[in-house]
Chain A
Amino acid sequence: MAELIGAAHRPRAVDVHEQPHQLSARIGRLGVPVLPRTVVLSVAWVVVLALFAALGSTVTPYDPLQQELQARNVPPVWLEGGGWDHVFGTDQLGHDVLSRVMVSVRPTLTIGVTASLIALVTGTLLGLVAGYFRGPADGLIMLLADSQLAIPSLVIAIAAVAAFGQSIAILIVLAGFSGWMGFARTVRSSVLTLRSRDFVVSSRALGADDLRILYRHVLPNIASIVIVLITIQFRSLILFEAALSFLGLGVPPPQPSWGSMINGGRDYLLSSWWISVIPGIALMLTVLTVSLIGDWLRDVLDPTLREAS
């Protein structure tokens, strides 16, 4: 065993970044980065989702709320008994699964995008204030961030939904304010190192005021790290919404959502597994594609963030 370990390690334990990252950007002949195929496919999936969200129920094959009692638990087209009228089958009440998966995109993306924006704006502003001005504001903001990080947002969400009831607005507020801490902490630590850099110091010596320094020097330098954080945040907020919907605390019925569809099919796993599995695959694909896009952006925008792989 000791031999094997030594052989595997001795000559190589120098640089953890030596292996080319799977998604690293190659620069093409015109200086334009060549997009890896996985990223192209991921972007394509996200574009399709955006179209579904924009068009809503106008493009679904069926009315997603319409129950067809003669066509309950119809299997998807590739299984025996399935047909092209219901490509992904129907659920226990005769809803068309494909139509419901398609209309679920709108609440998911609405909540994900709006909540990410709330988290982005509050987190970045608070991080800037904490890192640039320091003092008691810094202490207070970091205390709040650490305290909130110490409590799972799902638990706070349970209390809030119990009191206010289910609604898209509550979900946006809960998700938005569960995600600001990551932005605040990262922005703060970048600002702390930027503050003492030569270009900021000399700019101040030349008489620039705080607002100008923040706008001209600090913001452009934290832009790339913030963009990467947005993808991470967006992904975890989509999962947050799906988990709440699964628990029956998320998107209010009768509006379908992936999380509640997965939950709804749980009692029919023995006979009609597709009711849960199809929306589950849609959710996983979405989470995976957002991660892949995020990894790629991270490599392109800020190679120092790349994890040892």
Chain B
Amino acid sequence: MGSIGKIVIPRLGRAIVTLWLVVTVVFVVLRFSGDPVSLLLPSDASQQQVQALRVELGLDESIPVQYGRFILEVVKGDLGESLRFNQPALDLVLDRFPATALLALVAFTVAAVVGLGVGSLTAFARGSVLDRAAIALMGILQSAPSFFLGIMLILLFSVELGWFPTSGYGSPSQLVLPALTLSALTLASIARITRTSLLDVLRADYIRTARSKGLPERLIWSRHALRNAALPLTTTLGLELAELLAGAVIVETVFAWPGIGRLAIDSVAARDYPVVQAAVLLIATIFVIINLLVDLSYLALDPRTRNG
């Protein structure tokens, strides 16, 4: 128990420091961008409204007091009211969460399955035409910005072929293009890393030993190669899931997908700052939690890291 605590607590501490830094950045940005009241009220607000909001926000207090209050409010989940919808900002953002989660999880599943498949296949068939073609395709996928890739997919599958709708939310056919677009970059990195770590593992001494003692190839792969190659992959998979969430902000805009990212972007345009703030804090929190889980799962999988 004591040793588990020794491993978990520093990582938990780092996650909390990260969250604290994000909250501080949001506070600093809000405070140094001019009068927050002008951000929070429409430009035709009356003098009384301005004064009332000033008192309500505690802007007559000193900066350290305001900072303390801000952190307390964030911890309590009180992120203010949306200026457009007269609803708590956090509720609005949480309402959109399922759409983003659905998109990210489907894209992640596609990327993981296809990426692991392509990565292992190219490692098996190293140096073949298939291997080279796959590497070239992955290179192109990695340099295509997701918003441009999305537009090319719309042109091909919606405009030319008419197979899938260009945008929208609700039916499975509307999920295909956004999920494909979002999965592309992740798929390419997973394939590349799978291939590299499999090739690395295959050079290891224990593989040579397994071969020299006459272990069948099938068992060498399942007992030794895949199991050891899985270690670096776990880290990658977790971090890629976090990256996917960031990518979702862009893909949601391309396909008019009603998730957190699109809400955040729409709210910037509408100057609905409390909603932007709630979305930013929620995405950051999800990120930090995923990172923490990846760290901890790595510890569980690899006994060597437990003493460090």
Contacts and interface: CB of A to CB of B under 8 A. Distances in A.
Interface in A95-125: none
Interface string A11-42: 01111100100000000000000000000000
27 contacts: A3-B217, A5-B221, A8-B124, A9-B126, A10-B211, A15-B203, A16-B199, A147-B14, A152-B246, A152-B283, A154-B250, A155-B280, A156-B280, A158-B264, A158-B268, A158-B280, A159-B29, A159-B276, A162-B268, A162-B271, A163-B29, A243-B146, A246-B147, A273-B159, A284-B148, A288-B143, A308-B200
Nearest to A285: B143
A216 B301 CA distance: 43
Interface in A114-168: 143-144, 146-148, 150-152, 154-156, 158-164
Interface residues of A, number: 58
A155 B143 contact: no
Given A14-B203, A156-B280, A269 B143 contact: no
Given A2-B216, A163-B29, A239-B145, A308 B199 contact: yes
Interface of B: 14-15, 17-18, 21-22, 25-26, 29-30, 33, 39, 124-127, 135, 143-148, 151-152, 154-155, 158-159, 166, 196, 199-200, 202-203, 207, 211, 216-218, 221, 242-243, 245-246, 249-250, 253-254, 264-265, 267-269, 271, 273, 276-277, 279-280, 283-284, 287-288, 291
A234 to B, nearest CB: 13
Contact of B148 (A10, A15, A160, A283): A283
B156 to A, nearest CB: 11
A14 B143 CA distance: 31
A246 B250 contact: yes
Contacts, number: 156
A266 B152 CA distance: 11
Contacts of A160: 29
- The binding surface of chain A is classed by DSSP as helix
Contact of A247 (B14, B15, B159, B253): B253
A259 B146 CA distance: 11
A163 B38 CA distance: 10
B127 A19 contact: yes
Contact of A284 (B126, B143, B155, B279): B143
- Most chain B CB within 10 A, of A247, A249, A308, is at A247
A13 B159 CA distance: 47
A276 B33 contact: no
A175 interface: no
Nearest to B127: A19
A163 B22 contact: no
Contacts of B279: 158
Nearest to A238: B145
Contacts of A82: none
B151 A262 contact: yes
Nearest to A3: B217
A280 interface: yes
A151 B39 CA distance: 25
Given A6-B217, A162-B267, A266-B254, A280 B29 contact: no
